[in-house]
Structure 1
Amino acid sequence: MSYAFIRDTRFELQRLLIADDPWADQFPRDSWDLRLLDLANEDCCRLHFGGIPQPWLRALTKRWARWRLTRGSSPAGLTLSVQSVTRLACHFAEIDGVDAGPAALDRARIETWLAALQTDVPSAHTRSRTINCVGVFLRDVHRYEWQPELARSAFIYDDAPKPRALKPRFIPEHLMRQLEAPAAVAQFPSDDGRVLLKILMACGLRTKDARWLPFDCVVRNAENNPYLAWLNRKIHDRPAFFPLSEELAAEIGRQQQAVLERFPQGCRWLVPASLKNVDGSKPVSDRRMRDHLAIWLERLSLTDEHGSPVKVTFHQFRHTLATRMINADVPQPVIQTLLDHMSLAMTAVYAKLHDKTLRRHWENALKVNHEGQKAELAADHPLAGAAWAKMSLVRAKVTLPNGYCGAPVQTDCEYANPCLDCRFFITTGDFLQQHRQQRQETSELIAQAEQAGLARVAEKNRRTLGKLDTIISALEETAENQIVVGGHVEDVDAAS
């Protein structure tokens, strides 16, 4: 008889014994089994209060935890809150002793705890989270008068460190192209995980929202276009939708068929857990997805431009999708709707980063005019901002195959494409391949003209060939991961 069978049988017997009032059994304990309270999830199944030295504060924390749990608080989030209160309790006991009463926990003691946190918890993010959790606890205790003897000055005001500005963690395009390649996707360790991988890449869901996708997650509009229907669990299971390609909708359909073959009686989830899931009640675990991601990345041997191994997370696909949509000039309100951001400010982070990144690359890039000469304007020049604004407008207005038009916006031009002889023509290393292709074609034209005895055509194309040679030589001064700054070569990272 296996240990797992004995353990599960013991648990079910315990559940039967306390079925009438599970809270009466669990509340006095210093460790609550949330499974017996039907409050557990895969992220958290226990709450521990034994680390709080003061009996009165431990009992108060239990009362508060029960109140929060029965009103829908996340068990994982509440675990962080109990840990935060435990930090305060240990500091309180260290200075005032275990027997100190509620009246001793005043604003002065909270301030010494805040000072100690600065040393004990180096991470500003962790400090902020800890302080906020304790602040909510004290606020609720005062509001509902659960401990009248607690000092009225025991409050957390605006004490938490200010949160850092959000920074998108998108995956660079040269890496995304490797990850999205069909041959690469085919190496993902599991068929159902491969479907989730494609959904994460295409729709930008959070990992938990993807794992908890319902079985019937594809809906169609009046025109029969497919949409992914999902629940935003970060915002109280709010329904959200994302347009799907027919190809991905078909893959989801094949996954649904596989689930029905495994669970003929039906299953709630698009991707159910593969182990310990006899009735199909559990979705795929976060642990399994992360393990498979690690295996996949190892198989791909993904490296950056320096040859160093690259690690990515599922959540980075969400950042990448948002950045791509901003780069494609999708309006921010549309992106907010598609990704179901809580506020437009979250979406605006990507737009701000996009403009900042474009400008940095433009300022750092070696820019060459039609004579193959550098066309530079120092970043600190008084007109640098105006020049960037003008170039942004031109880039949005004109699409050119091998460079940009540097003419004033008001200037009319009869040509649809840039001319190598035009004094307004500017190009960068981004278009080096196009220049090389044009040089190859020009060389072929010269050979054909000479063979046909067309001396004038050959001469004209030789001038073009000379221009291209000059431009290509200037652009080739920089390596792929280098730029020219102030007349000398620097690495991109050092220059930025």
Structure 2
Amino acid sequence: MIEPNQINPLALKVVAPSQAVDETDQRKKELICERCSGNDFVKRRKSTQGYQIYLCIGCGRHLTDSPPKYTPTSPEMEYFKNVWDCRNFGVESRVGKYQYKLNFSSIQPEWLLKSTKQFIRYSLSNVGLSSCSARLEAIKHFSLFLVEQYPSIKPESITRDIAIHFLSYIAAKNLSASWRCHTIGALRIYFEACIINDWIPFRRHLIRHEDFPKRSKSIPRFIPEEVMTQLNQYLPELAEPVQRMILVLQDCGMRISELLLMKYDCLSQDKSGDWFLQYHQFKMKKDITIPISRELVGVIQEQQRYIREALLDSFKYLFCANESGSRVSCGAFSASPRPMSATAFSKMLNDLGEKHSICNAAGDRWHFQTHQFRHTVGTRMINSGVPQHIIQRYLGHETPDMTAVYATIHDKTMKQEVSKFHDKIVNISGQIVESDSPNVDTADLQWFKHNIQAQALPNGSCALPIIAGECPHANACLTCTHFRTSGQYLDEHKKQLDQTKQLAESAESKGWNRQAEMNRKVQASLENIIKTLEG
């Protein structure tokens, strides 16, 4: 169903269910479809509120001829209500969510209600609607505390002791340290604003720095590889626009609000032919540009073609909502000219997970949250050796501390780093060799010797198992892919390198090209091995 504030102006006239049939038919002629601009409709059933539902013959879209839920009024008139529609203060809701209301009805006593309205109206001018809503919730908890503990208190009687009592009050609720920090922080901002603006004569320093509980270190909520593999396996079952949304999240790690309101013209290309993605970070209130792969460019260009074919040119976003919300059966998707909600997107994702019982390695059913994709991208980049300041810029973080949340090192990455200070097991290319055995508790060289019965050599080991038969490359270990060695043989390699250089030079001086070529290959392998073992 079309959001009321998106209906064509001609469709805003209210038609009461009791009106005559001829007026209803005349009303039908006045409707215009926002998707195809058609005006040929047939009547369907009536809504539960008694309003007529029409079907567009041109594109199959349904439209309900209902009055608008939003009634514009002046900010001064809105201020005196106990439930605000913030659109009357010129405030837009967060993208992907249709939350416009702030409810002050439960706040007592009267002096607290009055000052809270002043504070929230001031907050609407400098922070987002979601932040104002969080501040209001904090004051509601303080209001409940006062009603229960100090029902007749005056603002000038609120002392530091009462503030400490409130801290104990919320601590007893066994809520997270993060929630308590947000509540205490919002109250401190409220108290300070009241003092500075002479709204309430509170005493100073009611909330102090030491009042904030210590937060536990944030652990990145990344999606395990086994879960991501299962998700991608069943991805084709989702509608193609939803598939593309997930692919963009997997590659770029943006916040869900940034994905939902990404502009249609989001791609740019430099003179070298490389592609970049541009989008707006609502949390940081800034635009960001990141490099992307050509594969992702193809995905985005497919979505651009879909939007232009399905919707009018006036639709300015890359992704749109589904006509029937999150109810997508067999990959069906009917484009609706409004951004998709975060709730609908999450439901599609988790419906797929529930259908196929997507689980982690422990066998627990995985519940997808959109922000997990952001944590996954950050963690993958950390474990791929990308410098932290590059990740900070890629994800659009303001401080290194925000990026440090993702600095969780996987076991494989940790082994590679620790091997820099211990014996490395390397091949002829100087690459560190990993063992996939879950029972490894010694060096890889020992693993090769004892677990797969690899053959020991004077300067390393051969990864070709004994059971595979005799080696077909006698005396050619340093040009063989099965060769493995470690730091304990470093001196032997250096001696052999000197000898090999002399042999290669001697062969070249005598014109023995074949012998010179073979020795240069051995020399290159030894140089790679020594460089890695000494690195």
TM-score by length of 2: 0.65
Tell me what 1:390 maps to. 421
Tell me what 2:236 maps to. 186
- Superposed, which structure 2 residues align to 1:249-260 within 5 Å? 249-260=297-308
Residue 47 in structure 1 maps to residue 97 in structure 2: no
**Structure 1: unaligned runs, 5 residues or longer:** 363-385, 408-418, 428-434, 458-463, 465-496
**C-alpha spacing 1:116/1:357, structure 2 compared with 1 (3 Å):** farther
Cα distance in 1 between the residues matched to 2:154 and 2:461: 75
Tell me what 2:195 maps to. 142
Deviation at 1:272, TM superposition (A): 1.9
Tell me what 1:68 maps to. 123
Which of 456, 461, 470 is the matching residue for 1:421? 456
**C-alpha spacing 1:61/1:320, structure 2 compared with 1 (3 Å):** same
Cα distance in 1 between the residues matched to 2:187 and 2:251: 39
Which of 57, 62, 85 is the matching residue for 1:33? 85
TM-score by length of 1: 0.70
Whether contact under 8 Å (2:276, 2:292) holds in the other structure is: yes
Q: Give 1:421's aligned amino acid.
A: A
Q: Give 1:143's aligned amino acid.
A: I
Deviation at 1:235, TM superposition (A): 0.5
Cα distance in 2 between the residues matched to 1:392 and 1:144: 66
Whether contact under 8 Å (2:311, 2:337) holds in the other structure is: no
Q: C-alpha root-mean-square deviation of aligned residues, in Å?
A: 3.8
Over residues 349-381 of structure 1, what are the superposed CA-to-partner deviations in whole Å (9 max), with x where a residue is unaligned? Answer: 434x2178855x79xxxxxxxxxxxxxxxxxxx
Residue 292 in structure 1 maps to residue 339 in structure 2: no
Report how many aligned residue pairs link the two structures. Answer: 394
Over residues 209-250 of structure 1, what are the superposed CA-to-partner deviations in whole Å (9 max), with x where a residue is unaligned? Answer: 1111111111111112122111122211x1112222222212
Residue 151 in structure 1 maps to residue 151 in structure 2: no
Whether contact under 8 Å (2:260, 2:341) holds in the other structure is: yes
**C-alpha spacing 1:262/1:67, structure 2 compared with 1 (3 Å):** same
Deviation at 1:444, TM superposition (A): 5.4
**C-alpha spacing 1:133/1:101, structure 2 compared with 1 (3 Å):** same
Residue 219 in structure 1 maps to residue 271 in structure 2: no
**C-alpha spacing 1:28/1:339, structure 2 compared with 1 (3 Å):** same
**C-alpha spacing 1:328/1:424, structure 2 compared with 1 (3 Å):** farther
% of aligned pairs identical?
A: 21
Whether contact under 8 Å (1:92, 1:109) holds in the other structure is: no
- Superposed, which structure 2 residues align to 1:207-356 within 5 Å? 207-236=256-285, 238-275=286-323, 282-351=338-407, 353-354=408-409
Whether contact under 8 Å (1:138, 1:156) holds in the other structure is: no
Cα distance in 2 between the residues matched to 1:94 and 1:348: 42
**C-alpha spacing 1:86/1:398, structure 2 compared with 1 (3 Å):** same
- SS in structure 2 opposite 1:354? coil
Whether contact under 8 Å (2:425, 2:433) holds in the other structure is: no
Whether contact under 8 Å (1:64, 1:137) holds in the other structure is: yes
Tell me what 1:161 maps to. 213
Deviation at 1:177, TM superposition (A): 2.9
Cα distance in 1 between the residues matched to 2:394 and 2:243: 22
**C-alpha spacing 1:48/1:390, structure 2 compared with 1 (3 Å):** same
Q: Give 2:173's aligned amino acid.
A: D
**C-alpha spacing 1:178/1:161, structure 2 compared with 1 (3 Å):** same
Residue 78 in structure 1 maps to residue 132 in structure 2: yes
- Greater than 6 Å deviation, 4+ residue runs: 276-281, 392-397, 404-407, 423-427
**C-alpha spacing 1:175/1:279, structure 2 compared with 1 (3 Å):** closer
Deviation at 1:330, TM superposition (A): 1.4
Tell me what 2:185 maps to. 132
Q: Give 2:101's aligned amino acid.
A: R
Deviation at 1:299, TM superposition (A): 3.3
Q: Give 2:312's aligned amino acid.
A: P
Whether contact under 8 Å (2:226, 2:361) holds in the other structure is: no
Cα distance in 2 between the residues matched to 1:195 and 1:169: 22
Over residues 123-164 of structure 1, what are the superposed CA-to-partner deviations in whole Å (9 max), with x where a residue is unaligned? Answer: 2221111111111111111122222x3334534443111222
Deviation at 1:420, TM superposition (A): 4.1
Task: Report the structure, 1 or 2, having the larger helix content.
Answer: 1
Q: Give 2:275's aligned amino acid.
A: P
Whether contact under 8 Å (1:106, 1:153) holds in the other structure is: no
- SS in structure 1 opposite 2:307? helix
Deviation at 1:331, TM superposition (A): 1.6
Cα distance in 2 between the residues matched to 1:279 and 1:421: 65
Cα distance in 2 between the residues matched to 1:345 and 1:265: 42
Cα distance in 2 between the residues matched to 1:105 and 1:4: 52
Tell me what 1:489 maps to. none
Over residues 30-52 of structure 1, what are the superposed CA-to-partner deviations in whole Å (9 max), with x where a residue is unaligned? Answer: 11122343424125211111111
**Structure 2: unaligned runs, 5 residues or longer:** 1-16, 18-46, 52-63, 326-333, 445-453, 476-481, 483-535
Over residues 182-223 of structure 1, what are the superposed CA-to-partner deviations in whole Å (9 max), with x where a residue is unaligned? Answer: xx22122x2211111000001111111111111111111111
Over residues 78-121 of structure 1, what are the superposed CA-to-partner deviations in whole Å (9 max), with x where a residue is unaligned? Answer: 11111111111221232222x42211222221111111111024
Tell me what 1:120 maps to. 173
Deviation at 1:346, TM superposition (A): 2.7
Which of 138, 142, 151 is the matching residue for 1:88? 142
